[in-house]
């Protein structure tokens, strides 16, 4: 089976680690190939180095090197580089980068500086993390540099009604999404082209999965790469999504603040509505109401416990998503 | 008193640390301002980051952060970044960079990438290391990127008489100067201009000192920046040099291999001959013969123990150089 997924950072990575665990334990899924299309919309240049937070979280999590407690960054990290940069007065100080994480960014920046496309750099990083050995291809959504900025009220200087745009990471990490976001501006997205293999991976998949990633600033950004949403609409394979809400709230991160910024209610119906033009199956947390009033075609909905409290729990959720997808394929074929 | 020096890495840094110690302990030298013109000829770009080995050795040594045993790099360093870069297969592996040292290079590279001249970056680094508080201005010899390459025999492929050029650091650090050098090629040196303040510091100094730095690949390169040698010749202040040889041999490094490459004998006379057009005073190790046959004007020679076995020993040597310079100034004035 060829499975293709779009994915953001921590939630996507944990879901996909669960999926790989489920594939390993399921005899009927042996030989499954997984293509992960990762969000690069929240990439940022820090200290002159290109940082790809979501891609790196995917690499570290699927490669077994992630800091479990944080969900991002490397386990057992030291912070000597960041400490010395602080001594030098280098900014910003609100983005935590460990020493071995710095090595990833140095390596990537050097290769990008030599003209290597990001997708080729990620192929090299994937090898270091043993993703190919697990049957996983990790692709960036695009090789075009894209950066998400957040338009917030500018209260400095007392100017009424003023606006300023800050980098998504500043809004997310520094301000913890507490500054009300008026909208997201994704610089470069309209000129971006899907990275090599992205559209093919969507078109030729047997099953498409949307992990419980942020529907606005992760999956929403990937869908905004010209051609990607059309490919999702056009694929004949079932598309099964997993609601990022558990008991009506995001488990971590600030999906609710992101949904509010685009005027969508923070419910599993609201999220499913964002995918309504291509969604075939939708997993909803058992503590959440059965979605109603999803615009567009109505997806097949299943209730499951969606808290990824362990790798096994994530594997069960991923298994339920695959199961729903397989059922939808069988139904499509019988029509 | 305004003292200006040209300096390479470890030898220069240890001499200058001794000089600062001597200034602090000498009541008649209070208020002395020291300008250090540092060699950037062996700068190298590693992992996409600009590394200035001599400048950093000067910063770390004068700032109290150097690894005493090595003579270069930071004390109490960790090597997490380099370890991860090795995991990634990034090359080269023969140049040791510690984590906090990496921070220096990241910081410098970011600022250079933003268009800041190297001299301005070094001003910021000097502040972090408290050089200004010690009355020290550290200048790079030039803001123009310059790189020393070494022409060696190319024995690969069996081509007889073949030549190849390798970066100076590869020759020095990786091969420990064991590959016979045919000549040094300093890419960019002919187009380099002295960094702001360099020529003024030479012209307006009361005393010019040449530390026991490598006469070929450190001081020789600085003298090769167009305008610097002429300024040395033109200054009215005495120029006092310290022989880099102790008991006829370089204390560390491979000055003998460098001298051989340019056809100069590895003696204190040979080295003094390289400075003959401007040298007024010359400190020679007490175990070395009194130099003879120095071409050009004959410098005033003094014998001293020149082994910098401690900060105090280095201070005594620096004190002897200053003393010789003061005597030469008095003589010039009395003429």
Q: How far is CA B63 from CA A118, B34, B57, B60, in A?
A: 39, 14, 10, 5
Q: Evaluate whether B251 touches B11 at the Cβ level (below 8 Å).
A: yes
Which pLDDT belongs to residue A69? 94
Contact assignment for A99 to B84 by CB distance below 8 Å:
yes
Which pLDDT belongs to residue A298? 82
Q: How far is CA A314 from CA A26, A31, A245, A307, in A?
A: 14, 20, 14, 8
Q: In what order do the strands lie in the sheet with B136-140?
A: B136-140, B33-38, B2-7, B207-210, B239-242, B281-285, B300-304
Under 8 Å CB-to-CB from A213, ≥6 apart: which residues?
Answer: A6, A7, A8, A9, A11, A12, A15, A39, A219, A244
Euclidean distance between CA atoms B324 and A211, whole angstroms: 77
Model confidence at B294: pLDDT above 80? no
Which pLDDT belongs to residue A251? 87
Helix or strand or coil: residue B5?
strand
Output the six-digit token pair for A287: 């503590």
How does strand B207-210 pair with strand B2-7? Answer: parallel
Which pLDDT belongs to residue A211? 98
Euclidean distance between CA atoms A144 and A167, whole angstroms: 17
Contact assignment for A88 to B104 by CB distance below 8 Å:
yes
Q: Chain A interface, mutation test: which of B107, B114, B130, most A Cβ atoms within 10 Å?
A: B107
Which pLDDT belongs to residue A260? 92
Euclidean distance between CA atoms B308 and A87, whole angstroms: 31
Which pLDDT belongs to residue B46? 97
Give residue-wise pLDDT tens across range B84-105. Answer: 999 999 999 999 999 999 999 9
Which pLDDT belongs to residue A264? 95
Under 8 Å CB-to-CB from A19, ≥6 apart: which residues?
Answer: A3, A5, A34, A209, A314, A315, A318, A321, A322
Q: Nearest to residue B4, comparing CAs of B137, B202, B278, B220?
A: B202
Q: What number is the average pLDDT over the span B97-125?
A: 98
Euclidean distance between CA atoms B5 and B211, whole angstroms: 7
pLDDT tier at B251, thresholds 50, 70, 90: confident
Contact assignment for A80 to B88 by CB distance below 8 Å:
no
Model confidence at A297: pLDDT above 70? no
Q: Which of B81, B109, B113 sits opposite A103 (nearest CB)?
A: B81
B99: closest chain A residue by CA: A81
Give residue-wise pLDDT tens across range A123-177. Answer: 999 999 999 999 999 999 999 999 999 999 887 765 667 899 999 999 999 999 9
Contact assignment for B106 to A48 by CB distance below 8 Å:
yes
Model confidence at A212: pLDDT above 90? yes
pLDDT tier at B289, thresholds 50, 70, 90: confident
Give residue-wise pLDDT tens across range B35-58. Answer: 999 999 999 999 999 999 999 999
- Other Cβ atoms within 10 Å of B190 Cβ, number: 11
Q: In CATH, what number is assigned to the domain containing residue B326?
A: 3.40.50.10680
Euclidean distance between CA atoms B48 and B102, whole angstroms: 11
Give residue-wise pLDDT tens across range B126-170. Answer: 999 999 999 999 999 999 999 999 999 887 765 667 899 999 999
Q: Evaluate whether A127 touches A111 at the Cβ level (below 8 Å).
A: no
Which pLDDT belongs to residue B26? 97
**Residue at B216 is within a domain:** yes
Instruction: Provide the shortest C-alpha distance from residue A121 to chain B (in Å).
Output: 11
A102: closest chain B residue by CA: B81
Model confidence at B296: pLDDT above 70? no
- What share of chain A in percent tops pLDDT 90? 89
Euclidean distance between CA atoms A124 and B99, whole angstroms: 23
pLDDT tier at B333, thresholds 50, 70, 90: confident
**Residue at B138 is within a domain:** yes
Q: Give the up-direction half-sphere exposure of residue B303: CA atoms within 13 A in the CB hemisphere.
A: 7
Euclidean distance between CA atoms A71 and A218, whole angstroms: 16
ipTM: 0.92
Model confidence at B314: pLDDT above 80? yes
Domain range holding A51? 2-76+102-143+191-334
Q: Chain B interface, mutation test: which of A50, A84, A87, A90, most B Cβ atoms within 10 Å?
A: A84
Residue ranges in chain B assigned as alpha helix (H): 10-25, 53-62, 80-87, 99-113, 118-128, 168-169, 198-203, 219-224, 228-234, 255-261, 268-274, 311-334
**Residue at B64 is within a domain:** yes
- What share of chain B in percent tops pLDDT 70? 96
Euclidean distance between CA atoms B261 and B271, whole angstroms: 13
Which pLDDT belongs to residue A105? 98
**Residue at B121 is within a domain:** yes
Q: Evaluate whether B190 touches B226 at the Cβ level (below 8 Å).
A: yes
The count of structural domains within chain B is 1
pLDDT tier at A295, thresholds 50, 70, 90: low
- Other Cβ atoms within 10 Å of B25 Cβ, number: 11
Q: Which of B90, B102, B107 sits opposite A102 (nearest CB)?
A: B102
Most confident of the following: A255-269, A294-308, B145-159: A255-269
**Residue at B225 is within a domain:** yes
Euclidean distance between CA atoms B122 and B128, whole angstroms: 10
B112: closest chain A residue by CA: A48
Contact assignment for A88 to B128 by CB distance below 8 Å:
yes
Give residue-wise pLDDT tens across range A171-210. Answer: 999 999 999 999 999 999 999 999 999 999 999 999 999 9
Give the DSSP letter of residue A212: S
Task: List, in sequence order, every residue forming a beta bridge with A137; answer none if it has no partner.
Answer: A35
pLDDT tier at B114, thresholds 50, 70, 90: very high
Model confidence at A331: pLDDT above 70? yes
pLDDT tier at A24, thresholds 50, 70, 90: very high
Model confidence at A112: pLDDT above 70? yes
Euclidean distance between CA atoms B20 and B30, whole angstroms: 10
**Residue at B83 is within a domain:** yes
Which pLDDT belongs to residue A252? 85
Q: What number is the average pLDDT over the span B68-81?
A: 96
**Residue at A277 is within a domain:** yes
Contact assignment for A124 to B48 by CB distance below 8 Å:
no
**Residue at B233 is within a domain:** yes
Give residue-wise pLDDT tens across range B56-65. Answer: 999 999 999 9
Euclidean distance between CA atoms A42 and A36, whole angstroms: 17
- Other Cβ atoms within 10 Å of A150 Cβ, number: 26
Instruction: Provide the shortest C-alpha distance from residue A253 to chain B (in Å).
Output: 29
Model confidence at A109: pLDDT above 90? yes
Euclidean distance between CA atoms B37 and B195, whole angstroms: 9
Q: How far is CA B225 from CA A217, B9, B204, in A?
A: 53, 18, 18
Q: Which of A80, A87, A106 sits opposite B128 (nearest CB)?
A: A87
């Amino acid at each position: 089976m060829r499975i293709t997924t779009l994915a953001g950072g921590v939630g996507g990575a944990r879901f996909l680690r669960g999926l790989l665990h489920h594939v390993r334990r399921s005899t009927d899924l042996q030989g499954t190939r997984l293509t992960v299309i990762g969000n690069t919309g929240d990439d940022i240049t820090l200290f002159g180095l290109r940082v790809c937070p979501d891609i790196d979280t995917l690499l570290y999590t699927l490669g077994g090197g992630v800091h479990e407690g944080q969900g991002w960054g490397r386990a057992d990290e030291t912070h000597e580089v960041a400490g010395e940069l602080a001594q030098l007065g280098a900014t910003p100080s609100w983005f935590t980068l460990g020493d071995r994480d710095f090595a990833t960014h140095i390596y990537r920046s050097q290769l990008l500086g030599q003209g290597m496309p990001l997708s080729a750099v990620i192929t090299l990083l994937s090898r270091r993390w043993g993703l190919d050995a697990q049957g996983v291809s990790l692709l960036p959504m695009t090789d075009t540099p894209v950066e998400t900025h957040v338009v917030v009220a500018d209260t400095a200087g007392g100017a009424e009604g003023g606006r300023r745009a800050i980098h998504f990471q500043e809004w997310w990490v520094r301000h913890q999404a507490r500054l009300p976001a008026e909208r997201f501006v994704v610089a470069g997205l309209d000129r971006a082209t899907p990275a090599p293999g992205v559209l093919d991976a969507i078109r030729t998949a047997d099953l498409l999965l949307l992990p419980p990633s942020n529907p606005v600033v992760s999956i929403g950004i990937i869908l905004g790469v010209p051609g990607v949403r059309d490919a999702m609409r056009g694929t004949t394979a079932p598309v099964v999504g997993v609601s990022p809400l558990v008991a009506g709230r995001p488990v971590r991160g600030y999906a609710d603040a992101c949904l509010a910024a685009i005027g969508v209610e923070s419910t599993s119906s609201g999220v499913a509505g964002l995918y309504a033009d291509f969604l075939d199956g939708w997993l909803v947390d058992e503590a959440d109401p059965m979605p109603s009033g999803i615009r567009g075609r109505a997806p097949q909905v299943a209730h499951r416990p969606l808290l990824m409290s362990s790798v096994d729990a994530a594997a069960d959720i991923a298994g339920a998503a695959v199961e729903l997808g397989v059922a939808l394929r069988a139904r499509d074929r019988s029509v």
